[in-house]
Amino acid sequence: MTKVITGSQQLKTGLTYPKPTYSRVVTCSYSLAAGGGNFFSYTERCGQDLWLLGIDLYFSLQPGGAVTAISFDIYTGFDAPGSYNNMLLWSNLLPNYFRGQLTRWLVDSENWQMHRDMAVRLTGQGRRFGWAAIGSNTNPGYLSASFQISEG
């Protein structure tokens, strides 16, 4: 026997075939210019009641550069940020601590990938996801973040 809570939050028992829960992936990406700088990217607006199931990050630089360092954070917020500094006002989804101090994630490889299982429920207004990075890369590259969400 299965117990299922429907969208109206009513408990239904004895269901042989419960309604499946679907998820989707929203992605934001950016082509990094040679010479570094401040970069940010964000997704379209998602639902008001959702589960963040996982995050995948991909980073790639053209090989042969003298410097490959990129530091970044992953954020969630409500309105389109419009600038790098406004993105920093969003909520940090993956805080990174080093010796008790909040710091940024650091990538110093030409090709890098990270996955995090999240299972975090987010409610309220329609929400966006994104990242902000500071790069000192000497070669151009690409940074992409994918967020697996389940709405409703």
What mean pLDDT comes out for the span 36-58?
92
CATH superfamily of 23-151: GOLD domain (2.60.120.680)
Distance of CA 152 to the CA centre of its chain: 19
Question: How many whole angstroms separate alpha carbon 86 and alpha carbon 36?
Answer: 19
Determine if the pTM surpasses 0.85: no
Which of 3-7, 33-37, 74-78, 100-104 is predicted with the least confidence, judged by mean pLDDT?
Answer: 3-7
What mean pLDDT comes out for the span 9-14?
50
Joined tokens for residue 9: 């939050």
Strand partners, 60: 111, 142
Q: Are 150 and 66 in contact (CB under 8 A)?
A: no
Q: What is the CA radius of gyration of the chain?
A: 18
Domain ranges of the chain: 23-151
Which of 3-7, 25-29, 83-87, 113-117 is predicted with the least confidence, judged by mean pLDDT?
Answer: 3-7
In terms of DSSP bridges, do strands 24-32 and 141-151 run parallel, antiparallel, or are they unpaired? Answer: antiparallel
